[in-house]
Structure 1
Amino acid sequence: MAMGRPPTRPGRGAQGLSLIEVVVVVVLLGILLALSLGGRSLIDDRRLAGAARTLVGDLRLVEQRARAERRCWRVTFDPAGEAYTLQFTTDPWDATTGCPATGWQPLRAVTLPSRIDLASTSFAGDTMTVSPFGNPNAGAVVLRTPGGGQRRVVVNVGGRVELAP
């Protein structure tokens, strides 16, 4: 008889997987799933932090431009559209009535990144208005991710803009 491979019976060549192999595969899939979900949350948190920093910079810009140009500026928030618009007025400021209701020109519109929600604002009419002296009306804006992360941008009447977790 020739040496070599032992003879096999039909149907006995494919044995299947052992319990250990199945458990290892399930554990690896679980780890990959956990990492992918955690990675999504990390990306959302980075987008949230970036959007909040951009908003803080834009609010400070509006205050500085109002002081420098001696005209009214405002930021109008659109929670439904996940956006806000920086605007200035060409109409004169009045000491008794304040900033005019008309004559507003857009400087730029900003749309928040995907998966970032403009959850709420506490500004009257969802608008932060800044006088020609750089004094804004006080309020806050809350940005949120689907995973529950949030950042709060707070503006006080003195013009200080703060980013709170």
Structure 2
Amino acid sequence: MGDFLAETYPWVKFLHVISVISWMAGLFYLPRLFVYHAEEAGSGTQTDALFQIMERRLLRAIMNPAMIATWIFGLMLVMTPGIVDWSMVWPWTKAASVVAMTWFHMWLAARRKDFAAGQNQLTGRRYRMMNEVPTLLMLVIVASVIVKF
């Protein structure tokens, strides 16, 4: 398996980066949709229905597949011989941040269900604040991989 991973490393890395970009786009956009949904659409209105369609499609058609692909290709990179030195700090900070990013994804999915059930309790301001979470995690992940502290 190690030979296969070593031989396909550039392609796996390419697919991982593309998956991450797609996932991050969704993680940045869905909370922004929630801001406008919370502020502009009353429950049961046409606007509410439109936001629900956009949010569901973004999550199911883009974010979920991109997250799964990110994990698959990331784990393939981790299993490639000579790529990760687990005695260093950076793989652990990256791993913790990716787990946190996955938690945030799941939190967003739960908030989408709240909107669908007409039970959203959060304000647009709260969604604006939560919209910063993926940015902070992205900074830690990129610094971990590039600087390798």
TM-score scaled by length of structure 1? 0.36
Larger Rg: 1
